[in-house]
Amino acid sequence: MSTYSTVLTQVLKLASDEQMRLVSELFARSTILSPKRSILELSGLGKEILHEIDAGEYVNQERDS
């Protein structure tokens, strides 16, 4: 059994208030460890996918869907 499965099994045995406390603690730690990111970092991503697609036609198709 993997470590993840072992931990999950143990977590499911906790009372719901303890599970919520654990989730809260894990979330707090994950936001501390991960740096804040800017939406501007996404600029230009995917341009190679849309390279040969007409922008106006693409927008019209999206509006119609």
pLDDT in tens, the chain (65 residues): 799 999 999 999 999 999 999 999 998 887 676 677 888 988 888 878 777 888 898 899 999 98
What region, left, alpha or beta, does residue 15 occupy, with left being phi > 0 and alpha being psi -120 to 50 degrees?
Answer: beta
Question: In the structure encoding, which two tokens stand for residue 26, read together?
Answer: 């894990």
* Residue-level pLDDT at 51: 79
Rounded to whole angstroms, the Cα distance separating 36 from 16 reads 30
**What's the confidence (pLDDT) of residue 34?**
67
Half-sphere exposure of 65 (CA within 13 A, CB side): 6
| CA–CA distance, 64 with 29 (Å, rounded to integer) | 43
